[in-house]
């Protein structure tokens, strides 16, 4: 066996291990996120509320590990890829606000999100990657800022360059000037504040993502003043699709009460997660726990959306979705959403049979987004029921 073959074999073996670890972490993380959301809606004491903050921090830590495992594999294999689609910048910024503002408020730190008027509501970009970058950078800022503020701003530079600037008043590191991220890594590792800025890997992964988008990240750190992370990338032209444009024009933040939902998921806790979120919006779903049962249900009842776990017994999600597409008279054109803890699934050829992919951990806002798309595809009447 040649040296190159040995190297490729070792890389593939490491990639398989990282993929497996990522899958296991995200499966357990799904339960943690749901428990935190469910408990937060109960009548909790101040002490319990404090414990919930800790639980939320643990969930974030698990999520960071999962994201880094994914990034490590893709950087090492040179397979950093983007899955661009119509992405709502306002929705992503609202998620950021919901996630980080309560924590900042608790610490007495001002957290502000701004979107300039010139920024389009929709861009054609990888929304999941953009979320990953913002989570990484803002998490760093939250860890560093004890007093003052964190301000996240989206603005346009020229007609086709989107910039997202995260400015904070945390303790900066003197790196003798401002420089690109790649040139700062060694200085950050040698810094006595490395425990605070111990996210080099995450930031390097973020840099890799932004470079894949055609942009870059610049960091300014000033001791005693604060830090600024400047992310910018060119906007990609939105593909013309009259049906997609019309659906987007009709999108509402509401959920139709008559929406028929089928969920195929073999893990009980994940069923509980999805059921609890759907019930918030007055939706009662049909649940099955394997692919064969999903096909049977699809042949007996017409649904508006089918949420399909990828890894199930008897018949996996890909096999079940394929059979429904080919043989079900009632649901061959129904929106089918892949539910998976395998973040590499979106890079596979099998992913194209699905209308959307929802990675675990499941959050109310992500689930609401796919439910809304299904409702608008069907042109259903809307009723009041918002995600919380």
Q: pLDDT tens digits, residue range 216-236?
A: 999 888 877 788 999 999 998
Q: Is residue 388 part of a domain?
A: no
**Co-location of 281 and 314 in the same domain:** yes
Would you say residue 386 lies in a domain?
A: no
Task: Please indicate, yes or no, whether residues 226 and 246 belong to a single structural domain of this protein.
Answer: no
CA neighbor of 231 nearest in space, from 371, 145, 133, 158: 133
Q: Which helix (H) or strand (E) holds 137?
A: helix 127-144
Are 96 and 65 members of one domain?
no
pLDDT at 269: 82
291 with 168, same domain: the answer is no
CATH number at residue 171: 3.30.565.10
Taking residue 105's Cβ as centre, other Cβ atoms within 10 Å add up to 11
Of the candidates 338, 177, 194, 142, the one whose C-alpha atom is nearest the C-alpha of residue 185 is 194
Domain, as residue range, for 212: 85-234
Q: 334: how many CB neighbours lie within 10 A of its CB?
A: 21
- How would you classify the pairing of strands 216-222 and 261-264? unpaired
**227: cis peptide before it, omega within 30°?**
no
385 belongs to a structural domain: no
Residues 268 and 358 in one domain: yes
**288 and 368 in a common domain:** yes
Structure tokens at 234: 């060119």
pLDDT (0 to 100) of residue 77: 60
Can you list the residues of the chain whose pLDDT is less than 50?
Answer: 5, 7, 11, 172-198, 242-253, 381-388
**pLDDT at position 383:** 36
Is the Cβ–Cβ distance between 201 and 71 less than 8 Å? yes
Q: 190 and 93, same structural domain?
A: yes
Choosing from 234, 264, 299, the residue where a domain stops is 234
The CATH number of the domain holding residue 362 is 3.40.50.2300
Domain boundary among 203, 234, 265: 234
286 within 8 A of 307, measured Cβ to Cβ = no
- CATH code for position 16: 1.10.287
Is residue 299 domain-shared with residue 175, that is, in the same domain? no
Neighbours of 22 (CB within 10 A): 22
Q: What is the pLDDT of residue 252?
A: 43
pLDDT at site 168:
92
Report d(CA 187, CA 118) in Å as an integer: 36
Of 34, 93, 32, nearest in space to 57 by CA: 32
Q: What's the total number of domains in the chain? A: 3
Is 0.85 surpassed by the pTM of this model?
no
- What pLDDT shows up at residue 177? 44
Q: Look up residue 287 and give its two tokens.
A: 């649940």
Distance CA 274, CA 198 (A): 34
């Amino acid at each position: 066996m040649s040296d190159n073959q040995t190297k490729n074999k070792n890389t593939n073996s490491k990639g398989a291990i990282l993929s497996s670890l990522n899958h296991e972490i995200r499966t357990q993380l799904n339960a943690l996120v749901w428990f935190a959301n469910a408990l937060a809606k109960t009548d909790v004491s101040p002490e319990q509320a404090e414990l919930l903050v800790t639980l939320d921090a643990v969930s974030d830590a698990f999520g960071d590990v999962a994201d880094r495992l994914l990034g490590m594999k893709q950087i090492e294999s040179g397979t950093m890829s983007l899955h661009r689609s119509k992405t709502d910048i306002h929705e992503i910024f609202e998620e950021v606000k919901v996630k980080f503002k309560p924590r900042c408020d608790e610490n007495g730190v001002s957290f502000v999100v701004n979107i300039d008027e010139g920024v389009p509501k929709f861009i054609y970009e990888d929304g999941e990657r953009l979320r990953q970058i913002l989570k990484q950078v803002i998490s760093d800022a939250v860890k560093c800022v004890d007093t003052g503020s964190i301000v996240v701003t989206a603005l346009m530079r020229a007609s086709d360059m989107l910039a997202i600037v995260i400015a904070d008043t945390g303790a900066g590191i003197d790196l003798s000037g401002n420089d690109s991220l790649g040139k700062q890594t060694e200085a950050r590792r040698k810094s006595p504040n490395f425990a605070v800025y111990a996210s080099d890997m995450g930031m390097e992964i973020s840099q890799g993502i932004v470079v894949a988008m055609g942009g870059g990240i610049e960091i300014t750190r000033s001791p005693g003043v604060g830090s600024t992370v400047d992310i910018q990338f060119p906007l990609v032209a939105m593909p013309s699709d009259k049906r997609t444009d019309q659906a987007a024009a009709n999108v509402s933040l509401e959920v139709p009460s008559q929406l028929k939902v089928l969920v195929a998921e073999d893990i009980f806790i994940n069923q509980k997660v999805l059921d609890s979120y759907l019930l918030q919006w007055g939706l009662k779903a049909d649940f099955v726990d394997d692919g064969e049962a999903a096909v049977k249900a699809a042949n007996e009842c017409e649904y508006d959306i089918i949420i399909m776990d990828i890894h199930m017994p008897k018949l996996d999600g890909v096999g079940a979705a394929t059979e429904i597409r080919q043989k079900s008279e009632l649901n061959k054109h129904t929106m089918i959403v892949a539910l998976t803890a395998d973040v590499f699934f979106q890079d596979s050829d099998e992913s194209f049979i699905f209308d959307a992919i929802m990675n675990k951990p499941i959050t109310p806002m992500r689930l609401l987004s796919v439910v809304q798309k299904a409702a608008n595809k069907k042109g259903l009447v809307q009723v009041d029921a918002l995600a919380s």
